[in-house]
Structure 1
Amino acid sequence: MLAIFNSLFIGIVLISSSLTNQIVSGFSRPLAWVGFTLGIGFISYFFYKNRGKDQFNKNLISQGVISILTGIYISFYFFSPTVYGSLFANFKIFYILVLLSASLYISYYRTKKISDIWKNFSRLGLLTLFLLLFSIPTSVTRLFSSDDSNGAKLIPFSLEKDGNLDLSEFFINPPIIHASEWAPDKEVLYVPSQLPSGDYIEHPFFLTAYKGKLLSSFPLLPGLYNSFVYFSLKLIGVKIVTPDTINLSSSGPKMHAIEDFIYLEKFSSSLLFAITSILLFKAICKIASARTSLLITLLYSFGTTHFSNTSQTLWQHGFIEFLIVASIFLFLSKDILTPAKILLLGMILGCFFFVRPPSILVAGLLGLVFLWRLRHLPAKEKLNLLLISAAGLFIPLCSLGLLNYLHYGHIMGGYYLMEKSFALSGMPDRFIGNFWEGVGGLLISPGFGLFVFSPIVLLSFLGFFPVRKRIGFLILPTLLSTLAYLYIYGKHFIWWGGVSYATRFLTDLMPFFAVLLLPALTISYKRTILKFVFILFSIISVWAHTSAMYSDAPFKEWQGCKRLPIREKAWRWERIPYTMPFRAYYPYLTGKLDIEPIHECQMGEAAGSIGDRTAFKFEGSSVILGSEKVLRDITAYFRSGHYCAKIFSKVEKERNPSDEVLQILITQKDKIYMSQILNSDLSKKNEFEFDIAKSGKTKISVLKKGNTPVIFAGLTLTKGTCE
């Protein structure tokens, strides 16, 4: 029945998606697939209609409505980068509200007791939960991506255009450096590859060169998965513009279709995110109640990097998470020692290496769990199962290994050539960082620490003690994998994971920690103190990761426009990223606001210091495009009263004292409380007093005036008179 139910859902989704694309795009798409999907829907109908007429009619209506809305949701999603962007922006709220309302309505009417809503909600069909899990990350307006995933983003278009994995059509004219002119350089953004002639070709680190082709440096599986999603979407009429080229020899043209293929990446990532979460839910349901399983699934989905990283970008972490969850699902099955499941387990374990080489440690530990399960079997049966699992391991070795060898000349694929490129650039070993700094940063740093961003993980370690018999097999893999990852990435020269959010390098391990939350959660039902701690840690964890997606402040804290080095940002407790949305309210309580350019998005050039503050030089080219603003406007909440503004600035050299260089504006809506223009003669006065007549939201603007360069190190606003 479930298969029929899902077939009907898929058929209606395809129909409504295809028709929506036809209508919005003016019937410019072929209609053949509409007929095909209609056929799926009608076939499913006739198979299903004899399952009780009354129940069938109810299911058909509810399923039909949700299916149609889902199809429209998918279509509108891909209109977002186009002139039809408002369609999705308006429809997504309606769609999510319909899903939630229908879920709560059904949950209440099952027993008509408010106290049972939560329990009944957890027992809803997997389809409803899957759609909710899928719609939340896809509804995020922000487009967050990484250079690491460029291969995964572009492979679908390369396959469509040329039928190969060569990305040379997107990155043209890579610089050629003659062997006589070559000198190692530890620049991590551009690395070299040596040509057969002895000369060198220079390219971004996420690409590698082999036999005249530019290929992705990272594993191919994310790109192949993205290709499957891409071509499936094309069948229902979704149009995604092929990206333009980037000239590597110059600043050249940017990819004009960048939003389109990042929308595709986020769609694919969100789909994998939802599939993994649902599979985890099904796995935990084998050993716990539906309510407990749902709680753990939601914490895993929205309280870890599974949401803030995996759901938005096609890094390799998402696939490792999926493989771990799939392995756990099989281990929790009652009949895991059947040949079919053993073969599948072997295939899963064999894929780890081809997704992310360090994860082979995880695969090996899970393999030991499998061997332990065989210890009591007769020798003959044990040998048969070992041979079957070996056959499963052999399948990815032959397919993915051969694919790597054919395209990269090595079974490791792009990773092998990337390591050679880093060695040529003067970095033969990237694991050269301070080990203890890296381990501390991964676990407890305010900028990236696992226990700071997901404190709920701390309670997972309770799973090591009141061990449930069914999850005891996870203790050794979790403990040893965690120690191995800390050892490897603690020594990485960028242990924070580059331009990412929270503890990206430990994302692979989140499924282990999620399942090991089970003892803490079940104990918390009866222990008030533990329940309080569990709820508190859950709120912090979920806020830390969801605020990064739905609020500007946490995400901007880590953007490239910030001028403070990441290593320094990582250890600033006063600027934990997910506390940034509350920063606007601090002045209301403290009566003080300190604005430093080093913490704000700006385009100035570093220019020493003023006092103990880092200063930047601003000229006409340094202002934010389309305005006179030196910094983006800063909004904060102030109480009414008398204030002192202290500005830290100077000019580069003596100028006409009457030249205007800066303007400080402090306003509430159309009310101006301070409009102070600073001239070149900044030595006379840098403190100004003003009054705020009404408590509330206040905007601070810093504007560049005239052509005279100015060196600016920020300003402070303090309640009271200037000293």
Structure 2
Amino acid sequence: MLAIFNSLFIGIVFISSSFTNQILSGFSRHLAWVGFGLGIGFLSYFFHKNRWKDQSIKDLISQVIISALTGIYIALYFFSPTVYGTLFKNFKTFYILILLSVSIGVSYNKTKKVRDIWKNFSKLGPLTLFLLLFTIPTSVTRLYSSEDSHGTKLIPFSLEKDGNLDLSEFFINLPVIPASEWTPDKEVLDVPSQLPSGDYIEHPFFLTVYDGKLLSAFPLLPGLYNSIVYFSLKLIGVEIRTPDTINLSSSGPKMHAIEDFIYLEKFSSSFLFVITSILLFKAISKTASARTSLLITLLYSFGTTHFSNTSQTLWQHGFVEFLTVASIFLFLSKDIFAPAKTFLLGMILGSFFFVRPPSIIIAGLFGPVFFWRLRHLYIKEKIKLLIISATGILIPLCSLGLLNYLEYGHIMGGYYLMEKSFALSGMPNRFIGDLWEGVGGLLISPGFGLFVFSPIVLLSFLGFFLIRKKIGFLILPTILSTLVYLYIYGKHFIWWGGVSYATRFLSDLMPFFAVLLLPAVTISYKRTLLKVLLILFSIISIWAHTSAMYSDAPFIEWQACKRLPIREKAWRWERVPYTMPFKSYYPYITGKLDIEMIHECQLGAAAGSIENRTAFKFNNNSVLLGTEKIVPDINTYFRSGHYCAKIFSETENGQNFSGETLQILITQKDKIFLSQSLDPEFFKNNKSEIEFDITKSGKTKISILKKGEKPVIFAGLTLIKGNCE
């Protein structure tokens, strides 16, 4: 029956999505008829095989409705970068409400008891959980991507256009530097490759050059997966614009069609995110109740980097997580020694290296676990299973290894050439950092620490001591792989993972910690203290990772638009990224607001300091596009009362001229509490403090505007309740 309902679901999804695409595109997408054909094929199978009873009619109707809405959701999702963006925003809310209503309704009808809804919901099945998990990351309107995944994003279009993996058509005007003029510079992320002529070609670190081709420097498997998703979507009529070229000789290269291929990346990432989460749910269900399995799955899905990174961007970590969860699933299977599963396990373990080389430690530690499982078998059976698993390992080793060799000239692929490029740039070893600073940063730093962003992981360590028999095999792989990862990435010269959110480098380990939550969760049902800790840590972890997707403040902290070096930003407890949404309420309690330009997104040029604050020079090129603002408006909450504003600013080189340079505006809707212009008279009198009144408590906007043609040096301002000194 499950196969029948799944066939019905897929068939209706294909048909409704194809039909929606054709309507919105004016019936011009002929390939959508393939989707119609596949959908009709699945439906034919359903009606031929199905022998449902009267009591299943309600389930059938719900299935048809949800399937049709899912198809429309997928179709509208890919129209969201265009004129149908508003339509998708409205529809996704409707779709999510329908999913929740149907799920809660079915859960209630099982026992007719409100207290059983949670327990019954956990037993609805993987399809319901799949749809709910899938809608959450795809409903995120923020485009949260990274240059690291540019190669992965572009491979589908290169395969479609030229039938190869060469990305040269997307990146033009790569600088060629004569050998006589080349000087290594390890301070930039543009790295060199040496041409046969002896000259150097400079390119971004995420690309590499080999045999006249411009290739992704990162593993190909994520890009090939993205290609499968891309060509599958084309079957139902989804058309995604081919990205424009990037001119690498100009500053700040942009892609005019960037939204389209990032939407594809997010869709592919979300799909991988859900598959991994569902597989984890099925794995834990083999040793725990459905309710416990669901709770752990939700904590893993939304309380770790599995959501804030894996669900939005095609990092390599998502595939390592998938392979790890798949391995755990097979180890928890009763028939792990079935030839098919042994062969599959071998293929999975052989694939780790070709996704992210350091993850080979995980595969290597799963190997002894498999050998230990064989200890009770006869010699002949052991040899048979070892040969089967070795054959499975050889499949990715030969196929992906050969592909890497043909494309990159080395079995390691782009990583090998990337290391050569970094060496040419003056950094032969990237693992040169201070180990203890890196380990401390990975675990407890306020900007990136694992225990700060996912404190729920702390409860996973109970699994080391309160071992459940079926998950005991994870203890050794978890401990050793964690220690190795901490050593490797603790010494990395950018242990924080570059422009990333939370503890990205430790994402590969999250499935281990998720499964090892099992003892803590089951014991918490009976122990109040543990239950309180579980609830508290769960709230913090889920907020830390979901707020980055749905709130501006954590995302801005994640971006590299600030001038404070990431290493310094990582250790500021007063600026933990996921607490930033609450920052606007602090002045209401403390009566104080401090605006430092080094913490704000702005385009000024560094210009010394003013009273120990880093100052920046602003001219007409430093304002935000289409406005006079030098920073986005700052919205915060103040109590009514008398305030003192201290402004840290001066003219360039003490110049004397007429006219305004800056204006500070403090307003509430149509009420103006302060409108201070900074002009030569202001600087002449050195009047840096101004008193004003806020007559009404509430949300207050602070605007900093550039005026006139002359540049100004500005380091920020403070607002304090009370009189100026």
Q: Which TM-score bucket, shorter chain as reference? A: over 0.9
Distance 2:609 2:397 in 1: 57
Aligned residue number for residue 124 of structure 2: 124
Superimposed CA distance per residue, residues 562-611 of structure 1 (whole angstroms, 9 cap, x where no aligned partner): 11000000000000000000000000000000011111111000011111
Partner of 2:214, secondary structure, is strand
Superimposed CA distance per residue, residues 166-217 of structure 1 (whole angstroms, 9 cap, x where no aligned partner): 0000011211122222222214421111111222111111111000000000
Distance 1:367 1:188 in 2: 40
Aligned residue number for residue 690 of structure 2: 688
Alignment of 1:276-675 (within 5 A): 276-656=276-656, 658-675=658-675
Structure 1 portions without partners, runs of 5+: none
* Cα drift, residue 683 of structure 1: 4.3
**1:24 paired to 2:24:** yes
Distance 1:38 1:451, change over 3 A: closer
Aligned residue number for residue 106 of structure 2: 106
Distance 2:67 2:250 in 1: 48
Superimposed CA distance per residue, residues 88-108 of structure 1 (whole angstroms, 9 cap, x where no aligned partner): 111111111111111111111
Aligned residue number for residue 185 of structure 1: 185
Distance 1:341 1:620 in 2: 65
* Cα drift, residue 657 of structure 1: 5.3
Distance 2:510 2:222 in 1: 19
Alignment of 1:1-16 (within 5 A): 1-16=1-16
Partner of 1:718, secondary structure, is strand
Equivalent residues of 2:158, 2:164 under 8 A apart: yes
Q: Which amino acid aligns with 1:640?
A: S
Q: Which amino acid aligns with 2:578?
A: Y
Q: Which amino acid aligns with 1:49?
A: N
**1:63 paired to 2:63:** yes
Aligned residue number for residue 721 of structure 1: 723
Distance 1:115 1:326 in 2: 33
Q: Which amino acid aligns with 2:222?
A: P
Paired residue total: 722
Distance 1:193 1:267, change over 3 A: same
Q: Which amino acid aligns with 1:46?
A: F
Superimposed CA distance per residue, residues 454-485 of structure 1 (whole angstroms, 9 cap, x where no aligned partner): 00000000000010000000000000000000
* Cα drift, residue 430 of structure 1: 0.3
Superimposed CA distance per residue, residues 249-302 of structure 1 (whole angstroms, 9 cap, x where no aligned partner): 333863211100000000000000000000000000000000000000000000
Partner of 1:375, secondary structure, is helix
Question: Percent same amino acid among aligned pairs?
Answer: 79
**1:42 paired to 2:5:** no
Distance 1:462 1:289 in 2: 19
* Cα drift, residue 631 of structure 1: 1.0
Equivalent residues of 1:12, 1:37 under 8 A apart: no
Distance 1:164 1:120, change over 3 A: same
Distance 2:246 2:310 in 1: 26
Partner of 1:584, secondary structure, is helix
* Cα drift, residue 524 of structure 1: 0.8
Q: Which amino acid aligns with 1:675?
A: S
Distance 1:582 1:250 in 2: 39
Equivalent residues of 1:650, 1:680 under 8 A apart: no
Equivalent residues of 1:217, 1:417 under 8 A apart: yes
* Cα drift, residue 558 of structure 1: 2.2
Distance 2:724 2:82 in 1: 52
Distance 2:253 2:579 in 1: 37
* Cα drift, residue 655 of structure 1: 3.5
Aligned residue number for residue 235 of structure 2: 235
| Larger deviation, residues 274-283 vs 239-248 | 239-248
Backbone CA RMSD of aligned residues: 1.1
Distance 2:291 2:252 in 1: 54
Equivalent residues of 1:173, 1:247 under 8 A apart: yes
| Larger deviation, residues 99-108 vs 476-485 | 99-108
Equivalent residues of 1:4, 1:47 under 8 A apart: no
Superimposed CA distance per residue, residues 321-345 of structure 1 (whole angstroms, 9 cap, x where no aligned partner): 0000000000000110111110000
Q: Which amino acid aligns with 2:440?
A: G
Distance 1:275 1:301 in 2: 11
Distance 1:553 1:224 in 2: 34
Distance 1:620 1:519 in 2: 60
Q: Which amino acid aligns with 2:509?
A: L
Equivalent residues of 1:49, 1:56 under 8 A apart: no
Superimposed CA distance per residue, residues 118-161 of structure 1 (whole angstroms, 9 cap, x where no aligned partner): 10010012111000101100000100111110111000000000
Partner of 1:673, secondary structure, is strand
Partner of 2:184, secondary structure, is coil
Distance 2:180 2:380 in 1: 64
Partner of 2:315, secondary structure, is coil
Equivalent residues of 1:318, 1:508 under 8 A apart: yes
* Cα drift, residue 693 of structure 1: 1.0
Equivalent residues of 2:644, 2:690 under 8 A apart: yes
Equivalent residues of 1:7, 1:40 under 8 A apart: no
* Cα drift, residue 447 of structure 1: 0.1
Partner of 2:661, secondary structure, is strand
Q: Which amino acid aligns with 2:606?
A: A
Partner of 1:161, secondary structure, is helix
* Cα drift, residue 376 of structure 1: 1.4
* Cα drift, residue 7 of structure 1: 1.3
Superimposed CA distance per residue, residues 650-689 of structure 1 (whole angstroms, 9 cap, x where no aligned partner): 0113434542111110111111111111112414211111
Superimposed CA distance per residue, residues 428-470 of structure 1 (whole angstroms, 9 cap, x where no aligned partner): 0000011110000000000000000000000000000010000
Equivalent residues of 2:33, 2:236 under 8 A apart: no
Equivalent residues of 1:245, 1:253 under 8 A apart: no
* Cα drift, residue 38 of structure 1: 4.0
Partner of 1:158, secondary structure, is helix
Q: Which amino acid aligns with 1:318?
A: G
Partner of 2:375, secondary structure, is coil
| Larger deviation, residues 30-39 vs 441-450 | 30-39
Aligned residue number for residue 152 of structure 1: 152
| Larger deviation, residues 173-182 vs 368-377 | 173-182
Distance 2:254 2:324 in 1: 38
* Cα drift, residue 58 of structure 1: 2.0
Q: Which amino acid aligns with 1:25?
A: S
Distance 1:689 1:250 in 2: 46
Distance 2:182 2:283 in 1: 55
Equivalent residues of 1:246, 1:252 under 8 A apart: no
Partner of 1:255, secondary structure, is coil
| Larger deviation, residues 30-39 vs 453-462 | 30-39
Distance 2:587 2:606 in 1: 28
| Larger deviation, residues 424-433 vs 555-564 | 555-564
Q: Which amino acid aligns with 2:347?
A: M
| Larger deviation, residues 240-249 vs 447-456 | 240-249
Distance 2:392 2:649 in 1: 67
